[in-house]
Amino acid sequence: MSTLSPNDQTDIVAADRAHVWHHLTQHRAFDQADPAVFVEGHGLRLWDIEGREFLDAVSGGVWTVNVGYGRRSIADAVHEQLVKLNYFAASAGSIPGARFAEQLIARMPGMSRVYYSTSGSEANEKVFKMVRQISAQHHGGRKWKILFRERDYHGTTLGTLAACGQPQRSAAYGPFAPGFVEVPHCLEYRSQFPDAARYGEAAADAIEHVIEREGADTIGALCLEPITAGGGVIVPPQGYWQRVQEICRRHDILLHVDEVVCGLGRTGTWFGYQNFGIQPDFVTMAKGVASGYAAIACTVTTEAVFEKFRHADGGELGYFRDISTFGGCLAGPAAALENMRIIEDERLLDNAREMGVVLERELRGLMERHAVIGDVRGLGLFWGIELVADRETRCPLDEALVGRVVGLCRRQGVLIGMTNRSLPGFNNTLCLSPALVVSHAQILQIVRAIDVALSEIAA
């Protein structure tokens, strides 16, 4: 790894401190400590500006770098594309855009069309706009509401914050667009429904109660994460997804699955929803599409949805009147094609499933040693560890202590995440989402760091 001179290090940190406004960061923290500056990565290993090495168990902090750091072949593919042609608005076709769409759709039976943009928020906004336009042009403007779920997150724009189930994230930014309606979450550990034997069905029925209250003829779509990510890593209970799909079909409500986190292999299948045997109308994806090597997001629809925009009341103006300028940047699909080739050729879906089994076993072992662990849940290489002050009452562990666990892991050179300032009282889940290339030895290193950190806070 290349090293910077101490003077260069000081200059960069000073420039950062003086001029960069960090994402999701209370800058008061930098009164006491310098911001982290990472300079190089390989696989799951990451080095900061002072040459300290870390093992990254959260794929770039927010479950993004699915194929790991340092992939020269992706950089080469992007370079080759950019020197040939960097850009033309996506109202025209492109070689990597056409090829990636074809390969993506081949892995998503039942889906048909790919609309390119550059972030998860944007991809989700496209769905919301499509749903509103379908309502305007096919339902006389009546089927305009969009349902979202408590604890789910769909983005940072004002439109997607209107569909935010994490009140601490959206609190300061209202008032929001009308017509976004919340439905209950489905986390069995924080049981809301008495019928334990059929919890999944009961949680889905709770969505139907909201539909009946609002009137099905006013609702255009239901938007859900396949597995809730930042809201606590919530794997839906048995029977949930099948019933959700059945309810949507019965009420003529389009089903939108937000795969921004789960897409491209995170759970050991190409997409999270494919674990549950359902067929969505919209699928959105971003982070893992190019593993952070380029900014690319996709809104994928069925042909039936697409057809609604060719045959609409709006006549000539019935097409989708939307553009994402940088959705036409060809670095995105060039990187995405190579990212997909790597996942396929290196059998990373298999590795995600196999290493997921190891990770689960190790985490369940930790649970036996640490009473502070209330629940362990996840799928593939996507896991949450919910920490509690008391196992009996399930009272959440104080957020500051959860943060200390993250800090103690970092001190051991392992980067883990937590549900961060999103749910009042419930920012108590540690999050793990290592790159899909993670090895057995690295899993053990991650779990050992958590073990040591939990022992330390218990003491």
Shortest distance in whole angstroms from residue 34 CB to ligand PMP? 25
Contact yes or no for 431/233 (Cβ under 8 A): yes
Shortest distance in whole angstroms from residue 287 CB to ligand PMP? 6
Shortest distance in whole angstroms from residue 62 CB to ligand PMP? 5
Judged by CB under 6 A, which of 258, 281, 375, 399 binds ligand PMP? 258
The Cα–Cα gap between 126 and 418 comes to: 29
Residue 59 φ/ψ region, left for φ over 0, alpha for ψ in the -120 to 50 degree band, beta for the rest: left
- Binding string, residues 357-396; x marks residues near ligand PMP by CB under 6 A: ----------------------------------------
Q: Which is nearer to ligand PMP, 150 or 208 (CB)?
A: 150
Is 120 a binding residue for ligand PMP by CB under 6 A? The answer is yes
Contact yes or no for 45/64 (Cβ under 8 A): no
Q: Which is nearer to ligand PMP, 124 or 324 (CB)?
A: 124
Judged by CB under 6 A, which of 41, 43, 97, 155 binds ligand PMP? 155
The Cα–Cα gap between 25 and 48 comes to: 18
Q: Which residues is 87 bridged to in the sheet?
A: 329
Contact yes or no for 354/440 (Cβ under 8 A): no
Of 52-60, 116-124, 246-254, 323-331, the segment contacting ligand PMP by CB under 6 A is 116-124
Closest CA to 117 of 285, 283, 291, 262: 285
Q: For the residues of 17-39, what is the DSSP string, one character each? A: HHH---TT--GGGGGTSPPP-EE
Of 147-155, 325-333, 363-371, 409-417, the segment contacting ligand PMP by CB under 6 A is 147-155
The Cα–Cα gap between 449 and 459 comes to: 15
Residue 380 φ/ψ region, left for φ over 0, alpha for ψ in the -120 to 50 degree band, beta for the rest: left
Helices (H), 236-381: 240-250, 303-308, 331-345, 348-369
Residues 261-300 that bind ligand PMP (CB under 6 A): 261, 286
- Amino acid at residue number 160: T
Shortest distance in whole angstroms from residue 19 CB to ligand PMP? 22
The Cα–Cα gap between 37 and 132 comes to: 42
Is 260 a binding residue for ligand PMP by CB under 6 A? The answer is yes
Cα dihedral 250, 207, 186, 112, rounded to 10, equals 40
- Binding string, residues 193-232; x marks residues near ligand PMP by CB under 6 A: --------------------------------x---xx--
The Cα–Cα gap between 210 and 214 comes to: 6
Q: Which is nearer to ligand PMP, 67 or 372 (CB)?
A: 67
Judged by CB under 6 A, which of 59, 66, 117, 119 binds ligand PMP? 119
Q: Which is nearer to ligand PMP, 94 or 117 (CB)?
A: 117
Write the CB contacts of 216 (distance below 8 Å, at least 6 apart in sequence): 251, 252, 253
User: Which pair of structure tokens corresponds to residue 272?
Assistant: 């999270």
Q: Which is nearer to ligand PMP, 120 or 159 (CB)?
A: 120
Size of the site for ligand PMP (CB under 6 A): 16
Q: Which is nearer to ligand PMP, 81 or 422 (CB)?
A: 422
Closest CA to 290 of 325, 308, 310, 263: 263
Judged by CB under 6 A, which of 9, 66, 94, 156 binds ligand PMP? 156
- Binding string, residues 54-93; x marks residues near ligand PMP by CB under 6 A: --------x-------------------------------
Q: Which residue's C-beta sits nearest to ligand PMP?
A: 120
Chain residues in the site for ligand PMP (CB under 6 A): 62, 119-121, 124, 153-156, 225, 229-230, 258, 260-261, 286
